[in-house]
Structure 1
Amino acid sequence: MTATGEPVLSVRGLAKRYGAVQALAGMDLDVHAGEVLAICGDNGAGKSTLIRMVSGADTPSAGEIRLRGKAVRFASPQDALARGVATIYQDLALAPRLAIYQNVFMGAELTRRLGPLRVLDKKTMIEQASGWMAQLGSAVTDARRPVASLSGGQRQSVAIGRALRWNAEVVVMDEPTAALGVKETAQVLDLIRALNGTGKTVLLVSHNMADVVAVAHRVAILKQGRKVIDRPVAGLDADALSHMVMTGRQAA
C-alpha cells in the first residue's frame, strides 16, 4: 500500500511524563487512511503510553494529536470513540453472559416505539450485529449466542463488530493475538485483514513479529519513549523485524 494524502491521524511532539519518568519523548507519527500500521517495541518502549493518549485514556504532557488535520484533545475514550477512534484492548471489555448483539450495542441500544412506550428493538440489533459479523467473515452467524460460548478469536470478532457499529474510522488493536493458539491467531489475522478491507485504518500494537509481517503495511518501532524506525514492512521477515526491535536499527 502507498500512503497518500493527509494523514487520518497524526501526533506531533507528543510527550508524556509520569513524575520523573519520561514515558514518551517528542513523538512524531502519521497514520494514513486505509493502512495497517504496527507499533512495536520492547516493554517500556512507550507503546502503551502512546495508545493511551490516542485512545483518550490519558492526556499528553506536551505535543498534539491531529485527526483529519485538525488538532484534538480527547477528554475520554468515549470522546475519542465519538470522533471515530475506537480502541480494542487485550481484555476486549466484553460481558460474557450477554449475547453477541447485546455486547455490540452495549451503551447504545436501539429502541422502537410500542404505543406510548419505547422498548428495545432486539430484532434490528440482532440483524445488524449479524451483518457486521458476516462482513468480517466470522463463522459466528447467530448474534443471540452468549459471548461466553465463543473462542478467543470469535470474541475478537465481537469486539471488532462493536467498532464497526460505532463507525470508527481508526481502530486501535492492543495485542489482539496475545494468549491465543495458532488456529485462533490465524482467525484474528483474517479479521484484521477483513476490517482493513472495509476501508478502516488499523493501528496494531503487537509483540508478535510474525503477525506484523502477515498483516501490517508499515511498522513504527519505539525505544525508550522515542520512535527510532518508521518504514514499510515489505521486504522484511519476522527475524529481521525482531532484530530491529532489539537493536533499534534498520535491517541490513
Structure 2
Amino acid sequence: MADRTDTAPGAAPALVRLTDVSKYYGNIRALQGVSLEVSAGEITCVLGDNGAGKSTLIKIIAGLHRHDAGSFEIEGEETVLANPRAALDHGIATVYQDLAVVPLMPVWRNFFLGSEPTRGRGPLRRLDVPFMRETTRTELLRMGIDLRDVDQPIGTLSGGERQCVAIARAVYFGAKVLVLDEPTAALGVKQSGVVLKYVAAARDAGLGVVLITHNPHHAYLVGDRFVLLKRGTMAGSHTRDSITLDELTRQMAGGSELDELSHELERVAESGPDSTPSGPDTPSGTTAP
C-alpha cells in the first residue's frame, strides 16, 4: 500500500483529509482505518464493490454521519460536521446518484432548487426568473454544456446531461470539494465519457473532486489518486504514477482471489463441461452391453 503523501512545507493544506477514520453501527463495522486526501485541482477516486463502504464514506464527508474514530480535517483544521448544511458551509457539495431533481420542473428551476434568488420586497417579492434563466444558461456554457433550452423539464435530459447540470450547479454555488456518487453507474459508454469530461472540467476549475466508482477504467481516465475499499477497510492507496490500469483492475478484482478463480475456470475449460470419464472396463468409443 502506498504511503500517505504529507503536505509539503509552505504548500496549501489538503482541502479534505481523512486519517484512519472508522464508523460503527452498533457491533457492525462499516469502515475501519480509512484514509484519503483531496487536494485542489485533483481527482481522488474511491473504488470498491457493493458493500465495500463507499456509501458510508460519502455520508461522513457530506456531513450525514459522524465518524467514530480517526480525524477529519478540512483545509488543515480538524472538524466534526454536524449535518449536511455544515458540509456545504465548508464548501463540500455532494451529488448523489439519484441527483435529487424534480423531473417536471425546468432545468433553470432545478439549477437553483432550494437557493432561489428573489427581487422586490414584502408582498411584491417574487422569484427572479430572468436572472435564473440567464445564469443557468451562462454557467452551463462555461462548463461546455450547450442545452437546447433551459426551460425544458430536466426529466427530458439524458442521464449524462442531468449529471452535468448537477456538476455545474455545484461549481456555481462555490463548492471547493465535489463528491460524486457513482455518476456513470447507469450510463452507456458515450454518456459516461461526457460525464467524465465535465468531472475533469471541475478539476481544471480548481475543485478537489472525490469520484466514487466501481469502474477502474473510468477512474483511471481522470484520477490522480486511487483509494481501494474492501469490506470497510483499505485494500490500497496509490497515486497515478505508482500504479497501472491493469494493476488497479487486478487489485480491485481481488488480486490473488482472481488468480485462484482464473485457475479454477481454466481447469473447467480444459476438462470440458460434457466430458464423462470412461469406466475402467469400458473402452473408449464402445458401448457397454
Normalised to the residue count of structure 1, the TM-score between the two structures is: 0.91
Counterpart pick for 1:79 among 82, 86, 100? 86
Equivalent position of 2:188 in the other structure:
181
Match of 2:157 in 1: 150
How many positions carry a matched residue from both structures?
Answer: 248
For residue 236 of structure 1, report the CA deviation from its aligned partner: 4.6
Q: Distance in 2 between matches of 1:29 and 1:248?
A: 22
Tell me how large the CA RMSD over aligned residues is.
2.0
Q: Match of 2:54, as an amino acid? A: K
Structure with the higher strand share, 1 or 2: 1
Partner of 1:110: 117
With 105-114 and 165-174 compared, the bigger mean Cα shift is at: 105-114
Give the % identical residues.
39
Q: What amino acid is the match of 1:169?
A: K
Q: Distance in 2 between matches of 1:174 and 1:7?
A: 21
- Determine which structure has more spread, i.e. the larger CA radius of gyration: 2
Aligned twin of 1:32: 39
The answer (yes or no) to whether the contact 1:134–1:141 under 8 Å persists in 2 is no
CA contact (8 A) 1:104 1:159 kept: yes
For residue 185 of structure 1, what is the amino acid of its counterpart? Answer: S
Between the aligned partners of 2:153 and 2:244, the Cα distance in structure 1 is: 39
CA contact (8 A) 2:37 2:44 kept: no
Gaps of at least 5 residues in structure 1 are none
Q: Where does the alignment leave 5 or more consecutive residues of structure 2 unmatched? A: 257-289
Contact 1:100 / 1:144 at 8 angstroms: preserved in 2?
yes
Q: Name the SS for the 2:125 alignment partner.
A: strand
For 1:143 and 1:28, how far apart are their aligned partners in 2? Answer: 40
Give the distance between the partners of 1:187 and 1:216, measured in 2 at CA: 16
Question: Any idea what the Cα deviations from partners look like across 1:142-173, whole Å, max 9, x if unmatched?
Answer: 32221011011100111112212321100000
Contact 1:130 1:141 in 2 (8 A): no
One-letter amino acid matched to 2:229: L
Name the residue aligned to 2:62.
55
Task: Say whether 1:212 aligns with 2:219.
Answer: yes
1:126 CA displacement: 1.2
Q: What does 1:82-101 align with in structure 2 at a 5 Å threshold?
A: 82-101=89-108
The residue correspondences of 1:185-200 to structure 2 (distance < 5 A) are 185-200=192-207
Contact kept, 8 Å, 1:46 with 1:223, in 2: the verdict is: yes
1:59 counterpart SS class: coil
